[in-house]
Structure 1
Amino acid sequence: MSFPDFRFRYKAFGLNIASNFLLEGLLPADGEPEVYIKEGKVPVDLPGPPDSYGYTLVGTDGFAFRVKDIGTFLVTDGIQIIAERSEGCEPGAHVLFILGTCMGVLLFQRGLLPVHGGALALEGKHIIVTGHSGAGKSTLTAALTKRGCAFLADDIAALQENESGEPWIVPSFPRQKLWRDTAEQIYGSVDSLDRIPGIRDKYHVSMDGGFIEVPQRLDALFELSTHPGSEVIVSEVKGPEKLMVILRNIYRSEFIELMGKQGEHFMRCSALAAAIRVFHIERPENGFTVDEQIKGIIHKLNGIL
């Protein structure tokens, strides 16, 4: 791979990255580049109007997509990301998609399994907190890190098997994204936080000093959801439902069929279900019950050898 002016070097998701523009919040690289990120023209014609969302396969292992008012992106061979900003896109707003959707696709291409959730250390174990949008996973993980839990990943917890087939969490980068209301609940104010470009009320929280920089074995996955009751209920998921929990919480899982990776993906998720403990957290729809959720998680983790 040869592109000019790749003077910025970073590390994220276990990969050394070279970029021709600034990517704030990532760690410095510790080796030769494995991934190249470039701002430039995307040489792909996507279907649909230019001001709409669209995506397409490119060649045998490439994926391009367009986000309205943000830009067009191309991810190829697990090696290269090209980002072309739209006119009027707020400076830096496209980075959210580079480190989100683009990285999710690139991880798939490189054979890693991206789970949609936060990863951290608690009670000597390493866990992923997942759940549908609005379930409260960011609030829960922010509360845990505020209490001193070390952090591995925010929105994408990338998994890679070792030689024995055990799932290991690959650290992403030391930043978490929080909506204003969640940040105010956990930190009291957003005055010291940086607003994420392109999103009015979402902010970056730095995890410097509390970030785990080396892969850790995944012990358990906790899926968070809401219910109309008044209590927090934490229960273990067993049998075929374990696999269903994992399948529905894969990051950008809608791309798997398009990329032709259904069979490989199903086998990897099945192996993951067999290797870890899976739990379901049901929290009340109303009220702030983070303390009760954390107590329930700790109780379950103490039962894992």
Structure 2
Amino acid sequence: MEVSFTYYTAFGLTIGSEIALPYLKEVPATAVDLTIKRGHVPVSPPLEPTKVYRSGLNARFAQNDSECFWLDWSPLMTFMAVGGNELILDTEQTDEDLLALFTLSEAIGLILFQKGYFLLHGSAIQLNDKGVVFLGQPGAGKSTTVAAFAQTGIPVLSDDMVCIRLSEGQRPMIIPAFSQIKLWQNAVDGLNLDKTNLAPVREGLTKFSWHESVSFAETAVPLQQIFVLEPPDQAENTPIPVAKSQLPIEFLNHFPLPDSLLTGRLLKEYFEKSSLVADSIPLYKLSRPATFPKLHEFVQQLKASL
């Protein structure tokens, strides 16, 4: 049976996909940088548990070299990323929203890693033609912060995973992902978002996708600043600079893919890329605004300072 592909663009890549990816921008049929298809995934080396969860499932990971990575979401599906240009999905699932949810997360992240991009678990905006990144542990408020900026018309670069292109002697560039912000019910209510612009996300009964009316950046922008969001502190909301020597460890704490991926040569390369970012980009730790009015104040302050 002939396979039908739909063509999209995201993360600076042209993608030909056998499964629907509704949040991506469609493009005419063309040569592709990445093929996403269904198929039988060969037996992997021993799978190891990871820190990665999605829809309540804990992913397991394996690799045989830098060319083949397995990401197993039993009993739903298994992915294999091959050579940075092919993502194979082994599943009997037919729910398009579920397939897109798992594909456009850590699975496509493995492809981006194979292509040599520097990845961080965070969200990013384009402010005055500069990229600002917000890192933080799950629940730190990364998506909520980006949504607060988006409410004021600031373009979004990415939500959940930040993709950075590094070139020798040049400033790091943030590569736009796709137009979507995922928000829990309390953030939707606190930001007073119009629910007619939102759609439920399969990750939780009270999680929603803001997609249609989000201003989205479509071209890469230079990385200007990184914030690590920490628990709210009523007494202190001043950004605290992090020493350049500490940045590689800080970045490692916000690596979005399985930790076991970073061994040997790949770990060395990740630290080298961390150092390149640290050489030119300041990182600050910031107590997350404790209330939504204070979050809006922070938005206005940052807009005025950059």
Tell me which moved more, 255-264 or 16-25: 255-264
Q: Which amino acid letter does the alignment assign opposite residue 111 of structure 2? A: L
Is 2:100 aligned against 1:95? Answer: yes
- Alignment partners' CA distance in 1, 2:9 and 2:193: 31
Q: 1:178 to 1:144 in 2, by over 3 A?
A: same
Assess if the C-alpha contact under 8 Å between 2:44 and 2:63 holds in 1.
no
The equivalent of 1:19 in structure 2 is 17
Is the partner of 1:232 in helix, strand or coil? coil
The equivalent of 2:31 in structure 1 is 32
Assess if the C-alpha contact under 8 Å between 1:120 and 1:127 holds in 2.
yes
Counterpart pick for 2:295 among 290, 294, 305: 290
Q: 1:274 to 1:45 in 2, by over 3 A?
A: closer
Q: Which amino acid letter does the alignment assign opposite residue 26 of structure 2? A: P
- Alignment partners' CA distance in 2, 1:268 and 1:66: 27
Q: CA RMSD in A?
A: 2.7
- Alignment partners' CA distance in 1, 2:262 and 2:47: 20
Is the partner of 2:231 in helix, strand or coil? strand
Task: State the identity as a percent.
Answer: 25
Note the alpha carbon deviations across 1:267-301, whole angstroms, 9 max, x for none.
Answer: 000110112121211136x54331243245346x4
Q: 1:184 to 1:209 in 2, by over 3 A?
A: closer
Aligned positions, number: 296
1:156 CA drift (Å): 1.2
Counterpart pick for 2:209 among 204, 210, 213: 204
- Alignment partners' CA distance in 2, 1:140 and 1:131: 11
Tell me which moved more, 14-23 or 223-232: 223-232
Q: 1:91 to 1:6 in 2, by over 3 A?
A: closer
Calculate the TM-score normalised by the size of structure 2: 0.86
1:29 CA drift (Å): 3.3
Q: 1:138 to 1:105 in 2, by over 3 A?
A: same
1:126 CA drift (Å): 1.7
Q: Which amino acid letter does the alignment assign opposite residue 37 of structure 2? A: K
The equivalent of 2:143 in structure 1 is 138
1:146 CA drift (Å): 0.8
Is the partner of 1:92 in helix, strand or coil? helix
Assess if the C-alpha contact under 8 Å between 1:224 and 1:280 holds in 2.
yes
1:232 CA drift (Å): 2.1
Assess if the C-alpha contact under 8 Å between 1:72 and 1:86 holds in 2.
no
Assess if the C-alpha contact under 8 Å between 1:73 and 1:102 holds in 2.
yes
1:53 CA drift (Å): 4.3
- Alignment partners' CA distance in 1, 2:145 and 2:25: 24
- Alignment partners' CA distance in 2, 1:120 and 1:60: 30
- Alignment partners' CA distance in 1, 2:178 and 2:193: 24
- Alignment partners' CA distance in 2, 1:219 and 1:143: 19
Note the alpha carbon deviations across 1:198-247, whole angstroms, 9 max, x for none.
Answer: 53222211155611111111111111111444442222223323333323
- Alignment partners' CA distance in 2, 1:221 and 1:253: 22
Q: Which amino acid letter does the alignment assign opposite residue 20 of structure 2? A: L
The equivalent of 2:8 in structure 1 is 10
Q: 1:183 to 1:68 in 2, by over 3 A?
A: farther
Structure 1 segments, 4+ long, off by >4 Å, are 45-49
The equivalent of 1:63 in structure 2 is 69
Assess if the C-alpha contact under 8 Å between 1:39 and 1:83 holds in 2.
yes
Counterpart pick for 2:132 among 127, 130, 135: 127
Matches within 5 A, 1:100-119: 100-119=105-124
Runs of at least 5 residues in structure 1 that lack an aligned partner in the other structure: none
1:45 CA drift (Å): 4.3
Matches within 5 A, 1:164-175: 164-175=169-180
Note the alpha carbon deviations across 1:118-146, whole angstroms, 9 max, x for none.
Answer: 11122443211111111111111100011
Is 2:247 aligned against 1:249? Answer: no
Q: 1:267 to 1:45 in 2, by over 3 A?
A: closer
Is 2:157 aligned against 1:152? Answer: yes
- Alignment partners' CA distance in 2, 1:222 and 1:241: 14
Matches within 5 A, 1:196-275: 196-206=201-211, 210-252=215-257, 254-258=259-263, 260-275=265-280
Q: 1:169 to 1:233 in 2, by over 3 A?
A: same
Calculate the TM-score normalised by the size of structure 1: 0.86
Counterpart pick for 1:280 among 281, 285, 290: 285
- Alignment partners' CA distance in 2, 1:39 and 1:86: 10
